[in-house]
Chain A
Amino acid sequence: MKQNRTRARAATGTALALGLACVLSSCAAPASESGSATQTEAAPGFLAVADDALTGSGALTVQLDYDTSEADGLDPQTAQTARSWMIMGLVYETLVTTDENFEIQPGLATAWEQPDDTTYVFTIDTAATFSNGRALTPEDVVGSLQRQMESLSVWSGQMGPVESIEATGADQVTVKLSEPYAPFLAALANTPAAILPMQEVNDGSVDLTTTMLGTGPYLVDAHRQDESWTFTANPEWRGGDDLAVQTLELQIVDQESTRQAALREGSAGLANFVSIDALTQLADAPDARVLNQSQSDFYYVNVNSQTPGSPLEDQDVRFAINTAIDRQAIADIVFAGETAPTGVTPSNLPGACSVDALPSEQATIEDAKKIIEESGAGDTTLNMVVYTSEPVMGQIAQLIQQQLDEIGVTVEIEQFDTATYNARVFGAPADFDLSVGWFAGYVDPSMVTKWWNPEQALFNAGYTGVHEDLNELITAGASETDPEARAEVFTELCATADEYSEIVPLVHRPSIVGFDTAALSPTIQSNEGYGNILRDITEYRLPAAE
């Protein structure tokens, strides 16, 4: 069945590949050639490993595509975007962290025990101090986690059913949950769960919205919104004197071509790119190396089932559309084979469901055509809303438009800036038929699956329905702690969400990182869940000054 589906698309795929890929990559050499060459891991789980033989220290300039703009200022607990988490994560630390395999590792907690399914006992690193010189105490940990739970921010929901947080020793904090919650440690591993200087927060001497005061390796020296951040090494950091990057300047450079130019000419040591084309466009730069870090983030298509009178109210029509969307073709053509398809659970996370097993992947195009024909859905032109700030959205939309044309569904693409897109898609009522967007994938599948429950994820209530069977699976996936049993739940969950076809996952969102080999030897993990391209900055090595 799957073979028929693939063969039926071979001709179209080839034609599209020749046409669209040429446009997307400026007719450069196929990205897969250079791309695959650059993606050879330096060590298992690492795209690059810093060269310990380098003994230099000094400044590093990093160019990023945009700055953060938090409504609540610099408070990490309310930070909503991966960029904020990364920047604030230079100053703040969390109890635990994640490694290259998405496994939880010690952070400010040197160890933890789990006497039962709902109790976590953390041993706090008493050598840690805040940058003002004060030692970290269990009370800081308790206060920080309680503050997060009381904040009602997005992340407080990700922390799960926390029942109590108590200091149970001079270096010990115990957290009790009301029921088992598998993503608990994963939620603790991200910046919104950062440990804050609660003594100073409580006595009013520190305002977290304007001042960053953490236990992390860097201090904020200067910030000009949308222009730059300057960080300097925190002398109090318990990591010691082994920090090669003593000064870090994050320059905000909106244009991808300008960031490429900076990397070529050496005015930036490291830069991020959104377009996969950077892999080929920088391939001939002698000192630049470009890597494709695999993120758990993924693109999706929303299929609005809630507009009265829309053919998309019919689940069969939505499923036919889902069937016609060829995820592998999107990965191959739009992303030159540099990414991979995914289901509801990000395919690079442990226990994720298999994309090939999804009902829509098993179905045939002929079935989809028949449903569209019989339903009369082909008589209606559907709009597909995308935003312009990430050009690849439009390219994905174009390919889906052509894929749906194969089953007789006409799609008109409408491109808007982000604010307009948000108003159209997340407004009440939602004003679109189809839309393209992306979710952060995090480091535990259950942190993402909850977005399929509109009673928890209020933002999608305007275009998705409430399905009790799906919601039960989402809850079961979060509370099941046995890996094998959990994987079975995810398989069923992915299939059920696939059949409802209201939010259709497509492919992973690549994260392209380039660096100047003459100026920097970084450590970069192959996988990333919280969008933190500077995760291992404390491991970076610099050449000694000549």
Chain B
Amino acid sequence: MLQTLRWSAGRVVSALITLLGVSILIFAAVRLMPGGYEDIILGPLASPEERAALAAAYGLDQPIIIQYFAWIGQILTGDLGVSFVTQSPVVEELAKRIPVTALLTVMALFVTLVIGIPLGIWTGVRSGAKQGGAMGRIASGFGISVPEFVLGSIVIFVFSRLSLGIQVGGFSNIGSGFGPTFQALLLPALVLSVFCVAAAARTTRDAVMSVLVEPHITAAVARGETPWHIVRHHVIRNAGIPILTLLATVTAYLLGGAVIVETIFNIPGLGSFMVTGLDRRDFAVVQAAVLFAATVFIVVSLVLDLITSALDPRVAVTGKAGS
């Protein structure tokens, strides 16, 4: 128990160090990019004096170290700064957009869990059968290899020509009701989930297959347990840890994929906000959005690690899940 607590505390500390590293990396990356906010907003016609004045107004003429510590100081007080473009506090801007991305991500995650994992179990169990195995491999291979921007473009093309009652590109804010928002996010969520469904199916299938060859499964078969009973009581439980690990990866992937999908489908979420911010060198926005995404990933990973260690205490001792 003490060992588990010590291991958990270590994981929390390493998560905080990772977050600090991410903050330094984000800050340095966006500040070292060529071109500044003043170049974009004022354009080439502005005089050097006008550009210098605008840079000074936003503190962009200060040394990068001073800017970094000023930013970190702000963050520790809960202030993420002001968007250069909208002139609104970044916290307010994120508050408008995070729910949209969260709903999109949750919908995609739901599809992943509902389709990906059962599909993986089914193909794993039927790995010996020609039809099931081949179909699973083809479906997951397709899902993993087709990028979102290709799939999204195809979906927009198809659904703009075939009126199936699903609107393309007409996002309704959550405030206007859940129904229209859900409908607007349906296609993007499906596009976003394709890779994750495929990845979940593959991982689950491999995990199931690795469990199925273990002696206790052979013993269960010998005891005359039904296939469904074996899957439910022996396979799913033992295949759970790699699936949990996958969920952390999928969460990170969904946040990254949302950037592309939101841009393609014109959804005013965190992803499209971040892309626009990057284009305009709206540093406070990019830094806050990336830091938020990194925090979500780190926290999810941490929580899943803790759950994993609870499920299998050997993780806390050896750092590896038992087989």
Residues of A within 8 A of B (CB): 69-71, 73, 80-81, 154, 224-227, 251-255, 257-262, 264-265, 267, 389, 416-426, 428, 457-460
A424 and B45: CB pair below 8 A? no
Q: In the complex, which residues of chain A have a beta carbon less than 8 angstroms from the beta carbon of B279?
A: 389, 417-419
Q: In the complex, which residues of chain A have a beta carbon less than 8 angstroms from the beta carbon of B48?
A: 428, 458
A432 to B153, CA, bound (A): 34
How far, in Å, is B96 (CB) from chain A's closest CB? 8
Please choose the segment from B101-109, B110-118, B155-163, B289-297 that sits at the chain A interface, where 4 or more of its residues have CB less than 8 A away: B155-163
Of A69, A80, A226, A418, the most chain B CB neighbours within 10 A belong to A69
A406 to B211, CA, bound (A): 65
User: Contact string, B23-65, partner A, CB cutoff 8 A, digits 1/0?
Assistant: 0000000000111101111111111100000100000000000
Q: In the complex, which residues of chain B have a beta carbon less than 8 angstroms from the beta carbon of A260?
A: 160
B181 in the interface (beta carbon within 8 A): no
How far, in Å, is A432 (CB) from chain B's closest CB? 12
User: Contact string, B253-276, partner A, CB cutoff 8 A, digits 1/0?
Assistant: 000000000011110100011001
A69 to B281, CA, bound (A): 12
**Number of residue pairs across A and B with beta carbons under 8 Å?**
113
A257 and B263: CB pair below 8 A? no
Closest 6 CB pairs of A and B: A419-B35, A261-B160, A459-B44, A423-B35, A258-B169, A423-B34
A428 to B39, CA, bound (A): 12
Q: In the complex, which residues of chain A have a beta carbon less than 8 angstroms from the beta carbon of B280?
A: 69, 419
How far, in Å, is B92 (CB) from chain A's closest CB? 12
B86 and A225: CB pair below 8 A? yes
A419 to B266, CA, bound (A): 22
A426 to B36, CA, bound (A): 12
* Residue from the list B36, B41, B265, B272 in contact with A69, Cβ < 8 A: B41
B141 in the interface (beta carbon within 8 A): no
Question: With contacts A226-B276, A227-B268, A422-B35 known, is A257 near B40, CB below 8 A?
Answer: no
Question: With contacts A258-B264, A417-B279 known, is A422 near B39, CB below 8 A?
Answer: yes
A525 to B209, CA, bound (A): 67
Which of chain B's residues has its CB closest to A266's CB? B163
B227 in the interface (beta carbon within 8 A): no
How far, in Å, is B264 (CB) from chain A's closest CB? 6
A80 and B263: CB pair below 8 A? no
A264 to B158, CA, bound (A): 11
A419 and B39: CB pair below 8 A? yes
A80 to B50, CA, bound (A): 13
User: Contact string, B287-316, partner A, CB cutoff 8 A, digits 1/0?
Assistant: 000000000000000000000000000000
A258 to B39, CA, bound (A): 29
Question: With contacts A265-B160, A419-B33 known, is A254 near B266, CB below 8 A?
Answer: yes
A224 to B173, CA, bound (A): 12
Q: In the complex, which residues of chain B have a beta carbon less than 8 angstroms from the beta carbon of A226?
A: 85-86, 268, 273, 276
B249 in the interface (beta carbon within 8 A): no
B170 in the interface (beta carbon within 8 A): yes
Q: In the complex, which residues of chain A have a beta carbon less than 8 angstroms from the beta carbon of B168?
A: 258, 261-262, 265, 267
B34 and A225: CB pair below 8 A? no
A267 and B35: CB pair below 8 A? no
Q: In the complex, which residues of chain A have a beta carbon less than 8 angstroms from the beta carbon of B263?
A: 254-255
A418 and B272: CB pair below 8 A? no
Given A71-B41, A417-B278, A419-B34, 14 other A-B residues pairs in contact with their CB atoms under 8 A = A69-B280, A71-B42, A80-B45, A225-B86, A253-B169, A255-B156, A255-B169, A257-B153, A258-B264, A261-B156, A261-B160, A267-B170, A419-B35, A422-B40
A347 to B284, CA, bound (A): 43
A422 and B160: CB pair below 8 A? no
A424 and B34: CB pair below 8 A? yes
* Residue from the list B87, B266, B268, B273 in contact with A258, Cβ < 8 A: B266
Q: In the complex, which residues of chain A have a beta carbon less than 8 angstroms from the beta carbon of B47?
A: 458
Which of chain A's residues has its CB closest to B157's CB? A257
B167 in the interface (beta carbon within 8 A): yes
How far, in Å, is B13 (CB) from chain A's closest CB? 37
Q: In the complex, which residues of chain B have a beta carbon less than 8 angstroms from the beta carbon of A255?
A: 156, 169, 263-266
9 contacts between A and B (CB under 8 A): A69-B280, A71-B41, A260-B160, A262-B160, A262-B168, A262-B170, A265-B167, A459-B46, A460-B44
A261 to B43, CA, bound (A): 31
Q: In the complex, which residues of chain A have a beta carbon less than 8 angstroms from the beta carbon of B86?
A: 225-226
Q: In the complex, which residues of chain B have a beta carbon less than 8 angstroms from the beta carbon of A416?
A: 34
A264 and B161: CB pair below 8 A? yes
Interface residues on B, range: 35 or more
A420 and B46: CB pair below 8 A? no
Which of chain B's residues has its CB closest to A422's CB? B39
Of A81, A225, A253, the most chain B CB neighbours within 10 A belong to A225
How far, in Å, is B53 (CB) from chain A's closest CB? 10
How far, in Å, is A260 (CB) from chain B's closest CB? 7
Which of chain A's residues has its CB closest to B43's CB? A80
A257 and B42: CB pair below 8 A? no
A259 to B42, CA, bound (A): 27
Q: In the complex, which residues of chain B have a beta carbon less than 8 angstroms from the beta carbon of A265?
A: 160, 163, 167-168
A414 to B131, CA, bound (A): 49
* Residue from the list B85, B170, B265 in contact with A225, Cβ < 8 A: B85
Q: In the complex, which residues of chain A have a beta carbon less than 8 angstroms from the beta carbon of B44?
A: 422, 425-426, 459-460
* Residue from the list A71, A154, A420 in contact with B45, Cβ < 8 A: A154
Q: In the complex, which residues of chain A have a beta carbon less than 8 angstroms from the beta carbon of B163?
A: 265
How far, in Å, is A288 (CB) from chain B's closest CB? 11
Q: In the complex, which residues of chain A have a beta carbon less than 8 angstroms from the beta carbon of B35?
A: 417-423
Within 120-168 of B, Cβ neighbours of A (below 8 Å) are at: 153, 156-157, 159-161, 163, 167-168
How far, in Å, is A63 (CB) from chain B's closest CB? 8
Q: In the complex, which residues of chain A have a beta carbon less than 8 angstroms from the beta carbon of B272?
A: 254
A262 to B157, CA, bound (A): 11
Q: In the complex, which residues of chain B have a beta carbon less than 8 angstroms from the beta carbon of A154?
A: 45-46
Which of chain A's residues has its CB closest to B168's CB? A261
A14 to B45, CA, bound (A): 39
Q: In the complex, which residues of chain B have a beta carbon less than 8 angstroms from the beta carbon of A425?
A: 44
Q: In the complex, which residues of chain B have a beta carbon less than 8 angstroms from the beta carbon of A252?
A: 266
A260 to B264, CA, bound (A): 12
A95 to B276, CA, bound (A): 36
A326 to B167, CA, bound (A): 44
B276 and A261: CB pair below 8 A? no
B281 and A419: CB pair below 8 A? yes
Q: In the complex, which residues of chain A have a beta carbon less than 8 angstroms from the beta carbon of B43?
A: 80-81, 422
Q: In the complex, which residues of chain A have a beta carbon less than 8 angstroms from the beta carbon of B34?
A: 416, 419-420, 423-424
Within 211-227 of B, Cβ neighbours of A (below 8 Å) are at: none
A421 to B46, CA, bound (A): 15
Which of chain A's residues has its CB closest to B40's CB? A419
Q: In the complex, which residues of chain A have a beta carbon less than 8 angstroms from the beta carbon of B266?
A: 251-255, 258
Of A71, A265, A458, the most chain B CB neighbours within 10 A belong to A71
A251 to B267, CA, bound (A): 11
How far, in Å, is B159 (CB) from chain A's closest CB? 7
A422 to B160, CA, bound (A): 36
Question: With contacts A226-B276, A254-B266, A419-B34 known, is A262 near B42, CB below 8 A?
Answer: no
Q: In the complex, which residues of chain B have a beta carbon less than 8 angstroms from the beta carbon of A417?
A: 35, 278-279
Q: In the complex, which residues of chain A have a beta carbon less than 8 angstroms from the beta carbon of B38?
A: 71
How far, in Å, is A27 (CB) from chain B's closest CB? 15
B160 and A70: CB pair below 8 A? no
How far, in Å, is B55 (CB) from chain A's closest CB? 11
Which of chain A's residues has its CB closest to B265's CB? A258
A267 to B165, CA, bound (A): 12
A426 to B168, CA, bound (A): 39
Q: In the complex, which residues of chain A have a beta carbon less than 8 angstroms from the beta carbon of B41?
A: 69-71
Which of chain A's residues has its CB closest to B155's CB? A261
Which of chain A's residues has its CB closest to B167's CB? A267
Q: In the complex, which residues of chain A have a beta carbon less than 8 angstroms from the beta carbon of B156?
A: 255, 257-258, 261
* Residue from the list B33, B264, B276 in contact with A420, Cβ < 8 A: B33
